[in-house]
Chains A and B, each alone.
Chain A
Amino acid sequence: MTTWMLSLLGGVLIGLSATLLMWLNGRIAGISGIVHGLVSEPHNDSLWRIAFLLGLMIAGGITMRLGDLGTHSRQDFPVLTLVIAGLLVGVGTRMGGGCTSGHGVCGLGRLSLRSLAAVVTFVATAMATVFIFRHVFGVLP
């Protein structure tokens, strides 16, 4: 299969996952919301979150190893940048109430204008960030 077919197939699987979780459990498959909910929501609400994340990490990790897709990961990407990026993603998704999956896959699927505004905003600032750090300063790969 060509790369774009795999991308499309992977996207369809993600969409089916979100549909399944909504149809069966009535929950939004938003990864940031599921993660943040583990530390902020009542504990009787934690188990399904843990189950979803376990499934994501076990199946994703195995697929990565089987397909040899993780072994050629980037070398020498600056650690400080990873930490700052992680902090910004944590703060931003908590503040904005969602990430690529919650606002993107699920919010757009519900035809939510709020999610559309979020998606347009984060794609725009992400593209601007890449432009600035890659092409203006030339400091990040």
Chain B
Amino acid sequence: MITRLISALIAGALFGVGLVISRMSDPRVVLGFLDVTGAFNPALLFVLGGAVGVTVLLFRFVLKQPKPLLDSSFHLPTNRSIDARLLIGAGIFGVGWGLAGYCPGPALVALSGDVTEAFYFVPAMIVGGILYRVFALPWTPKP
């Protein structure tokens, strides 16, 4: 149990350092990447390329194991459908991402880095998740 917490702590730390040194924690860099018709900044292509390159390469070996080292089974999503809920949800997320330049990871890092903007963004993000759960989820048909 405690080993699982230590591994999660270390993985989280690597993630946090990665977000900051790649400058993905800076919303101006993110908005620069999203601004394809203006002052386009390709930095995020290197971040995503580096991250996805590693996972594409290494996940195939990891997921061939019968189980993870510290747990009895892999906890993978079972839903494979590309449905309206997925596309509308992803679309709404993209609008929020494009408005302020924060997605969840960088926003949490900015909160801990004492960036004032995050003190407005992060609580709103958590409330948004709860609101969706309370109001929308009961009416969403199960896949």
Q: How far is the CB of B126 from chain A (nearest CB, A)?
A: 6
- Chain A, range 100-141, C-beta contacts under 8 Å to B: 100-101, 103-106, 108-114, 117-119, 121-131, 133-135, 140-141
20 contacts between A and B (CB under 8 A): A3-B43, A4-B43, A8-B49, A14-B18, A14-B50, A14-B51, A15-B54, A51-B5, A53-B12, A55-B14, A59-B17, A67-B20, A86-B96, A86-B125, A88-B93, A90-B124, A95-B88, A109-B58, A118-B89, A118-B90
4 cross-chain pairs, A with B, having the tightest CB-CB distances, nearest first: A90-B128, A10-B22, A11-B50, A109-B55
Known: A52-B9, A55-B8, A56-B16. A31 touches B105 (CB 8 A): yes
Chain B residues near A23 (CB-CB < 8 A): 58, 62, 65, 68-69
The reply to whether A140 and B99 form a contact with Cβ atoms under 8 Å apart is yes
Q: How far is the CB of B69 from chain A (nearest CB, A)?
A: 5
The reply to whether A47 and B92 form a contact with Cβ atoms under 8 Å apart is no
CB < 8 Å A-B pair total:
476
Q: Interface of A with B (CB < 8 Å)?
A: 3-4, 6-29, 31-32, 35-36, 39-40, 47-49, 51-61, 63-65, 67, 69-70, 73-74, 77, 79, 81-97, 99-101, 103-106, 108-114, 117-119, 121-131, 133-135, 140-141
The reply to whether A129 and B94 form a contact with Cβ atoms under 8 Å apart is yes
- Chain B, range 20-55, C-beta contacts under 8 Å to A: 20-28, 31, 34-38, 42-44, 46-55
The reply to whether A128 and B98 form a contact with Cβ atoms under 8 Å apart is yes
The reply to whether B14 and A87 form a contact with Cβ atoms under 8 Å apart is no
- Total residues of chain B contacting the partner, CB 8 A: 111
Tell me the bound Cα distance from A26 to B69 in angstroms: 8
Pick the contact of B17: A63, A81, A104, A125 (CB < 8 A). A63
The reply to whether B16 and A59 form a contact with Cβ atoms under 8 Å apart is yes
Chain B residues near A87 (CB-CB < 8 A): 96, 124-125, 127-128, 131
Known: A25-B68, A89-B97, A127-B34. A8 touches B47 (CB 8 A): yes
The reply to whether B7 and A85 form a contact with Cβ atoms under 8 Å apart is no
Chain A residues near B31 (CB-CB < 8 A): 130, 134, 141
| Beyond known contacts A23-B68, A67-B20, A125-B92: 17 more, CB 8 A cutoff | A7-B50, A10-B21, A12-B54, A15-B52, A18-B55, A28-B75, A32-B129, A70-B113, A79-B120, A89-B96, A91-B132, A97-B79, A105-B55, A114-B77, A118-B86, A125-B94, A126-B95
